[in-house]
Amino acid sequence: MKNLNFVVITLVILIVSISSCTDLEENPVGLLAPESYFKTTQDAQNAVNGAYAELAYESLYGRKLPLTLSLLSDMGDIGDPGTASRRINLNTFTHDPNNGMISAVWPQFYRVISASNNAIDGIPSVEMDENRKNALIAEARFARALAYYHLVRLFGAVPYIDQYVEDPNSVNDIESTAPDQIYTGIIDDLEFGMDHLPDTHDGDIRSRATVGSAATMLASVYLTRENYDKAAEMAEFVIQNKDRFGYGLVDDYQELFNADNHDTREHIFTIDFLGGVTGSWPANVDYMAPITGIRDADQQGWSVLVPSMKVFNSFNDEDYRKEVGFQKEALIGGEMKPYTEYNFSRPHIAKYALFPGSNANANGSISDINYTVFRYAEVLLIAAEALNEINGGPTQNAYDYINQVRNRARSADGSAHSYPADLTMGLSQTAFRDSVMEERRIELSFEYKRWYDIVRRDMLQEVFTGTDALETRSVDPSKHYLLPLPQDELDRNPNLRPDGSNNGY
């Protein structure tokens, strides 16, 4: 595994301190303003690595962020009813501003932002090659953009802070920023990345930002904003330059979820957990393998996030992605047993628990798996969706892009299958749109994309109360498209919502 060497840069923002993980130990730098810390090129690199490291915390990609996104969607359900109520409440849309999942995710995103701002403000003072300097700043701006992209979709208006904050009291009464302005900042950061990031990094690692990953996030942002012209432009830029960036679909879909296969050509940006290295908890802690693993199986999973039988049955039995995505049998007491004999008798998610790597713990945690943020298949689907919207119906390129994904699915294990067949010309705009959304649901299943698709396509009532609902929930579109701001944050700073509202909660 091509690990980044992380150092700790302890800062303060919004009354929280941040720390990042190291390969083997922590190396505290202290509570320093940027001008006090940044002396060498290595200091600059360490600061950027620190921003990436904040993403690999238990409270974000290590557990709470993917679990939150999964439980909110129609693809995730609770397996063990004895799990924490904060998880159950998210899954049943009975959460409130005191929910412990929400109150953990919010401050950790601001730790990412704080570390990014520290790097962005401090690196210019270092004497080094200007191209190298701008590339490092662009990496920090990419991390900041990713944090805000999550925050604005989860909470709507949030504080937008784009500079290092030395005095935490100076932001005690900060007001939230309108989503349009936040998106402007995100786009500015990513456009800077398009101008200054490299095409690739040494070792071809995919856990550091590149031109391709900036363009991919821009395509996703524009798709969310319904700016389909720009979404198509950015997605097709990536597609047309795939050889330059080293992108493409892997031959076997299973390769994407095997810890022994890092930084494949399909990965565009990933969260790199250092398998077998925990650092200081909760740094570098990934728990999605046990969270999705099978309770009482020999691998010692917890059966927290378990799809419903409706979700399992919604996959065609001839679709290879069903075989890869679900664990239908497991070793229990040394014997291979079907899911009907699991403690919670449903097929479990296999993408994280089945091949966690040799460095993982007995339950699959602290694994070698790099968590995918963006991969090439999604770029193809973004392009297909956007072209359909621009042209009032699917173009030839739109068909070509979605069919590349479907072709890989039917041939990914090396043998020929008839499913899923290529889409054929003649679909209406609505029919093609529905096909793309369904393809995203299947292709990107359990990769934390579905909730954001539900939100941007205004599908809350359709997917939870419609006749074809995979999960039946009582939902209120006037509030459930957003999460409430954490109550403890509002108690500290009522200016976050000066009118006393909290996204309808």
Q: What is the per-residue pLDDT for 15? A: 30
Q: Is residue 418 a part of any domain in this protein?
A: no
Q: How many CB atoms lie within 10 A of CB 94?
A: 12
Q: Provide the residue count of the chain.
A: 505
**What CATH number is attached to the domain comprising 156?**
1.25.40.390
Q: What is the per-residue pLDDT for 23? A: 31
Cβ–Cβ < 8 Å for 50, 66: no
Can you state the percent helix, strand and coil of the chain, rounding each to 5?
A: 50, 5, 45
Q: Is residue 40 a part of any domain in this protein?
A: yes
How many distinct structural domains can be found in the chain? 1
CA 109 – CA 54 distance, rounded (Å): 8
Q: Dihedrals φ, ψ of 48, to 5°?
A: -65, -45
User: What is the 3-state secondary structure of 413-431?
Assistant: CCCCCCCCCCCCCCCCHHH
CA 393 – CA 27 distance, rounded (Å): 55
Q: Is residue 450 a part of any domain in this protein?
A: no
Half-sphere exposure of 245 (CA within 13 A, CB side): 31
186 sits in which H/E element: helix 179-196
Q: What is the per-residue pLDDT for 223? A: 99
Q: Is residue 406 a part of any domain in this protein?
A: no
Cβ–Cβ < 8 Å for 401, 239: yes
Q: Is residue 190 a part of any domain in this protein?
A: yes
Q: Is residue 298 a part of any domain in this protein?
A: no
What pairing do the DSSP bridges indicate for beta strands 348-349 and 371-375? unpaired
CA 7 – CA 19 distance, rounded (Å): 8
Q: In the chain, count of helices (H) and strands (E)?
A: 19, 8
Q: Dihedrals φ, ψ of 493, to 5°?
A: -145, 90
Closest to 377 in 3D by CA, of 445, 309, 425, 430: 445
* Mean pLDDT (10-residue bins), the chain, 505 residues: 39 34 31 70 94 94 96 96 96 98 97 96 95 98 99 98 84 92 99 98 95 99 99 99 98 91 92 68 82 90 95 96 96 94 94 86 81 97 99 98 96 81 98 99 98 98 94 95 96 91 93
Q: What is the per-residue pLDDT for 33? A: 56
The Cα-based distances of 433 to 16, 201, 267, 377 in angstroms read: 43, 36, 25, 16
Q: Is residue 98 a part of any domain in this protein?
A: yes
441 sits in which H/E element: helix 429-443
Closest to 137 in 3D by CA, of 121, 120, 125, 152: 120
Q: How many CB atoms lie within 10 A of CB 414?
A: 7
Q: Which domain holds residue 211?
A: 12-221+483-496
Q: What is the DSSP code string of 355-392?
A: ---TTS-TTS-S-SPPEEEEEHHHHHHHHHHHHHHHTT
The Cα-based distances of 350 to 74, 356, 442 in angstroms read: 18, 10, 14
Angle between helices 211-224 and 130-155 (to 10 degrees): 30
Q: Which two tokens stand for residue 395?
A: 């173009």
Three-state DSSP state, 494: helix
Q: What is the per-residue pLDDT for 352? A: 92
